[in-house]
Structure 1
Amino acid sequence: MNFLEISRVAFMSAFLLYCAAFICYVVAVTGKTWRNRDPERHEAKWGRISFTVSSLGLLSHLVYCGTRWAYSGHVPVSNMYEFMSFLSMMIMVAFTVVFIIYRKILLGVFALPLAILIMAYAAVFPQDVQPLIPSLRSIWLYIHVTLAATGESFFAVGFIAGLMYLLRAVDFSATDRPGRRQKWWVEFTLFSIIIVMGFIVSVFAFRAAGYEAVFVQNQTTIDSQVEQDSTIEDKVIYNLPPIVGPHQSEPEQIQPFLGMTKPIFDAPSWMRGDTAGRKLNTVIWAILTGTVLYLLLRLILRKSLGSALSPALRAIDPDDLDEISYRAIAIGFPIFTLGALVFAMIWAQQAWGRFWGWDPKEVWALITWLFYSAYLHLRLSRGFQGRKASWLAVLGFLVVMFTLVGVNLIIAGLHSYAGTD
């Protein structure tokens, strides 16, 4: 068995161990409510088991990273699969650090699903090891990407604690207008997470079914030597049923799905790039599948997701959650600043001959940095604590996820080599 096979086994082992650890954390938190004998002892026992299992999962994740690194010869962060896998690993590292400091078992109930979700998202993308393109063959790959992911992982822990605070502090029985607005935004945040789950479910479901649709896209180019137009045919392959077809294309082969034998409409002309239609189609499927999943959960629970999760947090001190969220973001901010901005600009100067080029990923990295700068400024100078600070922590990580996911799916740029297949 070579390093690549070991890395694949280690990745799957980490995923399964995280799932098992999540179940153990749930048992640790909920078991004390239905056990009549010594609930504190039960929580302590299952808390130790949960942390041990999640630590074994992290160890397996580190083995994945090390063996893939040994096989490829470079740190595994060069495409979307590798980067998201690395990010989920660093979220577990950040969670482990925060857990050791604060010993809050309930954090595991929220941190593990986030790491699992990001690992599942990573598995959607091609997993083959490919040689680095010239612009990535630099020591700055190690520094820029790893530090940026590490900073974002602490932002993720801040998001988890902030969301937990809101679930703990928001009154889901309120009927006044401010109360309804708070409930709606908490529910929208949970719905946004379900949308990412919808993307994963839809991709894996149609991939398992072997679905494929092929389009022929005609592109006109001008030959400067003979001053004549020439037409080049490119094939665009969809692995999801084509609600949106590529711009100016003809279907070559479409497997019928629910009577759908052709796209409902084509991608608009302003969406440039041969994959623009496919990306828009993917976003639409993620929203549709996520909405179905959300409605199914609402039907099963017979209440909003926020109302269902809130009772589990009644025993936890909201001030502790507020402190955890702030400390995690305060740790992550300088790391993110160095990785995503300072070292990124140095690398950009070496690779592209300029420090800044208004590439979409660069712009959104700057937006992320400005947002967390404002968070820390408001927290320290204006006394933003509690609910206000928690809303900023939640919104900030949604900005991070759009930078990582939305920009790659929707906007094309120099960072498109990150692996949006």
Structure 2
Amino acid sequence: MAGIDGSMAHLSDGLFTTAIAVYAVAMVGFTAEYAFGRVGRRLVTSEVPARELVGAGGPPVGAPGETPVEKTPAAGSGAARIGRWSVVLLILGALVHTASICVRAGAVDAVPWSNMYEFASVAGLVGVLAFLGVLWRLPTLRHLGGFVLLPVILVMFLAGTVLYSRAQPLVPALQSYWLAIHVTLVSIGEGALMTSAVLSVLYLVKIRHDRRSTEPDYRAGSLGTLAAKLPSAAALDKAAYRVVAFSFPVYTVAVICGAIWAEAAWGRYWGWDPKETWAFIAWVVYASYLHARATAGWKGRIAAWINLVGFFSITFNFFVINIVVSGLHSYAGLS
């Protein structure tokens, strides 16, 4: 491969695999905190009769009418420490992942997102960074890291196996500074929207559990057990909305930059190429989501479903349009 540094490309692949392993360990840690930590556990309410314990000459403990406070279980502090160390591992994994992308850029002497493998790698990193950003503002959502990392690891696994492409020079059509601008913005927007989609799924699970738990004959199954440990529906909804509110302007600018690049490369701003069409569909859906959030009658469950439809549009555009449908944007890099 002329112009390609094979040793750097091999190092990049090794760092990519290491990042997946570190993310996997962090996911196990977040899952352990979720399963054994006290976050999300229901507090004992006044519905449970308070017991009055009287020791030898001691005052009564738990007077009638006083709301008891849940005691932290023995495993609670240990689970919290595991959660904190999982965040450290997540940051370490993000650094290794970033190094993989930078080394890949050095190997090809260009921005490393010209095919599906490279784009998926960048989008996975952005998904992780988006979750770290959520933790910065809402640290109580830390124990949900396992849910966020699962799709990230899945996308990276597919990128490293099914979608993998060896380091190679850019094809002539992509040798433009617009590649660095357009595709960078798309990867940032879509990677962050993956995190928002996960939060919307958890939100739907939570509100379904909260609604059904008021029924007299409700029995919590495995899904109910999962939902009982989730944060409040309002917190999940707010986090999902904030990520979309950040990502949508980025995605909008990416679409505009793509149109400008198309005019320079093909002599027209918009030609309803399959990838352009689905990018526009996704943009319309997310615009509808933000509008639904601003409309009193469409908040909550309906808005969450719109968010998921938007992410389905992006996923369909990435996998199906790139692999199955032939068009001007056929740069999957698959052999």
Task: Settle same-fold status: TM greater than 0.5.
Answer: yes
Task: Work out which of the residue numbers 171, 182, 205 in structure 2 matches 1:167.
Answer: 205
- Which amino acid in 2 is paired with 1:325? A
Alignment partner of 2:85 out of 16, 41, 49: 49
Cα-to-partner distance string for 1:191-216 (whole Å, 9 max, x where unaligned)? xxxxxxxxxxxxxxxxxxxxxxxxxx
| Equivalent residue number for residue 12 of structure 1 | 17
Match of 1:130 among 151, 161, 168: 168
State whether residues 32 and 82 of structure 2, in contact with CA within 8 Å, keep that contact through their aligned partners in structure 1. Answer: yes
Task: Report the Cα offset of residue 307 of structure 1.
Answer: 5.4
C-alpha contact 2:206 2:228 (8 A) present in aligned 1:
yes
SS at match of 1:414: coil
Q: Relative to 1, partners in 2 of residues 1:78 and 1:52: Cα closer, same or farther, differing over 3 Å?
A: same
- Is residue 321 of structure 1 aligned with residue 236 of structure 2? yes
1:118 maps to which residue? 155
Match of 1:96 among 113, 122, 132: 132
Which residue of structure 1 lines up, in the alignment, with residue 54 of structure 2? Answer: none
Shift of 1:40: 4.1
Question: Does residue 84 of structure 1 match 2:120?
Answer: yes
Equivalent AA in structure 1 for residue 309 of structure 2 = L
Partners of 2:34 and 2:144 within 8 A in 1: no
How far, CA to CA, are the matches of 1:343 and 1:307 in structure 2? 48
Deviation (angstroms), 1:381: 3.0
The C-alpha deviation readout for 1:235-281, integer Å capped at 9, x for no partner, is: xxxxxxxxxxxxxxxxxxxxxxxxxxxxxxxxxxxxxxxxxxxxxxx
**Residues 87, 149 of structure 1: 8 Å contact kept:** yes
| Structure 2 match to 1:107 | 144
Distance 2:115 2:239 in 1: 31
Show structure 1 runs of 5+ residues with no match.
175-305
How far apart are the structure 2 equivalents of 1:45 and 1:383?
A: 42
1:65 is matched with: 101
Matched residues in 2 for 1:116 and 1:51: separation? 16
The structure richer in strand per residue is 1
For residues 179-328 of structure 1, what are the structure 2 equivalents within 5 Å?
308-315=222-229, 316-328=231-243
CA distance in 2, matches of 1:106, 1:394: 22
2:282 is equivalent to residue 331 of structure 1: no
Superposed CA deviations along residues 352-387 of structure 1, whole A, max 9, x for unmatched, are 111111110000000000010111111113453222
Q: Which residue of 2 aligns with 1:152?
A: 190
Cα distance in 2 for residues equivalent to 1:172 and 1:408: 40
The reply on whether 1:351 has 2:265 as its aligned counterpart is yes
Q: Give secondary structure in 2 for the equivalent of 1:10.
A: helix
What is residue 399 of structure 1 aligned with on the other side?
A: 313
- TM-score, length basis structure 2: 0.81
Count of aligned residue pairs for this structure pair: 289
TM-superposed CA distance for 1:169, in Å, is 1.4
> What letter matches 1:112 in structure 2?
L
The amino acid of 2:289's aligned partner reads Y
Partner Cα separation in structure 2 for residue 25 and residue 396 of structure 1: 27
- The alpha-carbon distance between structure 1 residues 5 and 84, as it changes in their structure 2 partners (threshold 3 A), is same
Residue pair 2:285, 2:309 contacting (<8 A) in 1 also: no
| Per-residue deviation, 1:313 | 3.0
Listed as ranges, the gaps of 5+ residues in structure 2 are: 1-5, 42-70, 213-219
Secondary structure of 1:170's partner?
A: helix
Q: Indicate conservation of the 8 Å contact 1:322/1:385, yes or no.
A: no
Task: Return the TM-score normalized by structure 1.
Answer: 0.65
Residue 148 of structure 1, CA deviation: 0.7
TM-superposed CA distance for 1:171, in Å, is 4.1
1:389 corresponds to which of 303, 307, 318: 303
